[in-house]
Amino acid sequence: MATQRKGRRSFALIDPPVITAWANVAGKKESEGPLRGTFDVTSNDSYFGQKTWEQAERHMQELALEALINKAKIQKADIGLVLSGDLLNQCIGSSFTLRNTDIPHLGLYGACSTMAESLLLAAMTVGGGYFENAVAMTSSHFASSERQYRFPLGYGGQRTPTAQWTVTGAGAALVSEKGKGPRITACTVGTVTDLGIKDANNMGAAMAPAALSTIRAHFEDLKVNADDFDLIITGDLGQHGKDVLLTLAQREGLSLGGKIADCGCMVFDNLKQDVHAGGSGCGCSAITLCGELLNKLQRGKLKKILFCGTGALLSPTSSQQNLPISGVCHAVAITGG
Amino acid sequence: MATQRKGRRSFALIDPPVITAWANVAGKKESEGPLRGTFDVTSNDSYFGQKTWEQAERHMQELALEALINKAKIQKADIGLVLSGDLLNQCIGSSFTLRNTDIPHLGLYGACSTMAESLLLAAMTVGGGYFENAVAMTSSHFASSERQYRFPLGYGGQRTPTAQWTVTGAGAALVSEKGKGPRITACTVGTVTDLGIKDANNMGAAMAPAALSTIRAHFEDLKVNADDFDLIITGDLGQHGKDVLLTLAQREGLSLGGKIADCGCMVFDNLKQDVHAGGSGCGCSAITLCGELLNKLQRGKLKKILFCGTGALLSPTSSQQNLPISGVCHAVAITGG
C-alpha cells in the first residue's frame, strides 16, 4: 500500500485500509439514550458482573473485542495488533484486557481522542504493511472516571452546567488491508493546543480550539472543505464545546458548512437524561463510531465523514497544581463501504 | 521505504530508518553513577528550577527536546511528529511538553517500555512514509513516581531488596528517513504477559517473562539468534528481574549467549548508590539508550543491539484491588551507523 504525506500534519492513504468490522458495548444509561439499538452488548449492571468499576471497564473492552471477533468471523489468533488505551490511571483497562491473549499490543494515551488516535495508528500500521490488520479500541466508565478525576460518587458533589457525563462503554474497530467496509482515506495528527482554560468541569471549551486547529489543518493539507463531507463529527465537545467551536470557526472565517455534529451531543438526550452538557470519555466517541456512524457509512446513509477525536489533556495532579487544560484532536476521514 | 512482515509479531525495515540524533537529561544521582559523562544536560536540583516534581519531569522532556534539536541542527518546525509518553497519571509530562509547540503529537502508554514503544512506532511512521522524521521520547522522575505509585517521600517508607529506584531523566531520539547514524532494522511488538506476580516492589520479576517472550519471538520471526547481537539489552528489569530472565531462558532452552545487559543494572552502581535492585522508570532505558548505547553504536564500539524495553502494567488502583502485574516488552534491533 502506498501513502502520501500531505502538508505538515496529514497523510492520505493511496490504497485505503478497510474497516471490516466494528463492535460496541454500552451501559444502562447509554442504552436508554438516542443511540439505543446500535449497541452489540448492553448491561443494566454498572459492574458488568465484576467486583469493581475498574474491572467492569476492563470487562467491557473484553466484551467489545469478543463481539468484534464474532462479527468479523475471525479467531483471536488472526488479530495482528491491538492499539488501545483508556482514561484509567496507567491505562489498566486496556492492558488487563490484553493479558495473556498473545495478541501484540501497543498502549496509547490520547484522553478522549483515543478512538481517533488508535484508528489513525491502525491505518498507518496496516497501510504501511506492518500488520495485516489492527484493532483500534478504547473504553470509559462513568463511575471509574468520576472517582478518579473528580469526586467519589458517594460524595454526591453537584455538577456544573458545563460538566459532561462520562460514557460507560467500549468500542472496537478492525482495520484490514483487504475486505469490504468503510475505508480510511486520510488522517491528520493533532497538536497540543492550549488557550489557558483551567476549569476541569468545562473540558469542551478546552478541546474546541484543538478541534478547530485540526479541522483547518485537514482542510488545508488535503485541499478539501466542509462540502466534501456529510458530517464533521467531533467526539466529544459536548454542547458548550460545540458552541465554542462554532463561534471560533466563525470568528476565524473557517466555513464548517453546518456539517458539525458531536458524539457528546448524540449519545444522550442531554435534557431528559440529565447529563448537562452531554457525553464524554473515550467510550463516547467509541460507541458512537463503532455503531451508529460506521453502520450508516456501511449502508450508504453517510458517504464521507471526518471523525475528529478530541481529548482534554489534564490529570487531577495538573489541576491541583493550577495548570491549564490542553486539548488535542486527531482526524480520520472515512468513506462509505 | 519498504517493510516486510515477519512472523506474528515482527517486521523488518527493508530501507531502515536512521537515528540521526539523540539527547538525554539526567538528575543528580544519575550523573554520579556509572553513566556520568554520557548526559547532555544534568541538574543538581531535583526540581529542575520548577515548582513541583511533575513540572520538573515535564521540564526534563523540554530540555531533552531542545538538546535534540540543537544536536540535530534542525528547527522545531522541522520535526514531523513526536511520539511520547511517561508514568505520570494521564501522561501529563509528555502532553505539557508539547503544549503550543505546533508539533504533531501522538501520546503513548507503555510503562517503562515506552522508549522502545516510541522508537518502534517512530520506525513504523518514518518507514511507512507518513512523516519525514519522528521523535521518540520519554521521561521519569524518582520523586513524582514514588508519590504516585508508592508512598509520599516524606513518609520515609523502607524499601525492599527487590525494589528498583526510578531514574530521574528524559531521553529523546530523532528517527529520520535519511541521514547518518544507527539504523532500526527490525522490530517486535510485545504481548501482555502475566505469570501472576503481585508484589509491586518486585517489578523485575513481573517483566522478565515478557522480555523472554519478546526476545524469543524476535529470534524466531527474524531467524536470528544471540550471536547476531553484541548486546541484548533489557530496560529495565533490575538485578532480580535479570536473574529471573536468565533462569527462565535456561529452563526453556533459549540461548541468550551471555549477551544480556540491563539498563537498570547499568545506570547506577547498585551497591554504592543504595538503589537496591537497580534503576527503573521510563527514563532509565531512555537515558541509557539516548547516550551510552547510541554513542557506542555511532562510534563502532557496538555493531548491533536488540533494545528490549520492558514495562510493568500496573496502577496503584490495580494493586489495591489485588490484581497481578502484567509485563510487556517491545524489541527494536539497531545496527551501528
Chain B partners within 8 Å of A87 (Cβ): 90
Most B-contacting residue of A76, A78, A130 (CB-CB within 10 A), to test interface: A130
The answer to whether A192 faces chain B, any CB pair under 8 Å, is: yes
The answer to whether A81 faces chain B, any CB pair under 8 Å, is: yes
Q: Taking a C-beta distance cutoff of 8 angstroms, is the pair B166, B280 a contact?
A: yes
The answer to whether B176 faces chain A, any CB pair under 8 Å, is: no
pLDDT value at residue B156: 85
Q: Taking a C-beta distance cutoff of 8 angstroms, is the pair B262, B276 a contact?
A: no
Residues A3, B11: Cα–Cα separation, whole Å: 18
Q: Taking a C-beta distance cutoff of 8 angstroms, is the pair A303, A230 a contact?
A: yes
ipTM value of the model? 0.97
| The three three-digit cell numbers of residue A141, written as one number | 466508565
| The three three-digit cell numbers of residue A257, written as one number | 458548512
DSSP letter for each residue of A220-259: HHHT--GGG-SEEEEES-HHHHHHHHHHHHHHHT---TT-
Of B51, B130, B323, the CB nearest to A5: B130
Distance from CA of B64 to the nearest CA of A (A): 18
Q: Could you list the pLDDT tens digit for every one of the 337 residues in chain A?
A: 467 899 999 999 989 999 999 999 999 999 999 999 999 999 999 999 999 999 999 999 999 999 999 999 999 999 999 999 999 999 999 999 999 999 999 999 999 999 999 999 999 999 999 999 999 999 999 999 998 888 888 888 888 899 999 999 999 999 999 999 999 999 999 999 999 999 888 899 999 999 999 999 999 999 999 999 999 999 999 999 999 999 999 999 999 999 999 999 999 998 899 999 999 999 999 999 999 999 999 999 999 999 999 999 999 999 999 999 999 999 999 999 7
pLDDT bin (cut points 50, 70, 90) of residue B322 is very high
Hey, are the CB atoms on B323 and A96 less than 8 Å from each other? yes
The answer to whether A294 faces chain B, any CB pair under 8 Å, is: no
The answer to whether B110 faces chain A, any CB pair under 8 Å, is: yes
List all residues 6 or more positions away from A93 whose beta carbon is below 8 Å from its beta carbon. A54, A57, A58, A60, A61, A86, A87, A139, A141
Residues A104, B110: Cα–Cα separation, whole Å: 13
| pLDDT, tens only, B74-101 | 999 999 999 999 999 999 999 999 999 9
pLDDT value at residue B2: 59
Q: Taking a C-beta distance cutoff of 8 angstroms, is the pair A269, A33 a contact?
A: yes
For residue B1, pLDDT beyond 80: no
Q: Taking a C-beta distance cutoff of 8 angstroms, is the pair B111, B87 a contact?
A: yes
List all residues 6 or more positions away from B301 whose beta carbon is below 8 Å from its beta carbon. none
Chain A partners within 8 Å of B189 (Cβ): 81, 104-106
The answer to whether A125 faces chain B, any CB pair under 8 Å, is: yes
Distance from CA of A36 to the nearest CA of B (A): 31
Distance from CA of B245 to the nearest CA of A (A): 18
| pLDDT, tens only, B108-152 | 999 999 999 999 999 999 999 999 999 999 999 999 999 888 888
Alpha helices in chain A (DSSP H): 28-31, 53-72, 92-98, 114-127, 142-149, 203-222, 238-252, 263-266, 282-288, 294-298, 316-320
C-alpha distances in Å from residue B107, one per residue of A150, A273, A317: 22, 33, 18
Most B-contacting residue of A92, A175, A325 (CB-CB within 10 A), to test interface: A92
The answer to whether A221 faces chain B, any CB pair under 8 Å, is: no
Hey, are the CB atoms on A106 and B107 less than 8 Å from each other? no
First vs last C-alpha separation in chain A: 18
pLDDT value at residue A172: 98
Hey, are the CB atoms on B92 and A318 less than 8 Å from each other? yes
Write down the residue that cell numbers 527487590 correspond to.
B162
Hey, are the CB atoms on B130 and A92 less than 8 Å from each other? no
Residues B302, B296: Cα–Cα separation, whole Å: 5
* Nearest residue in B to A77, CA atom: B8
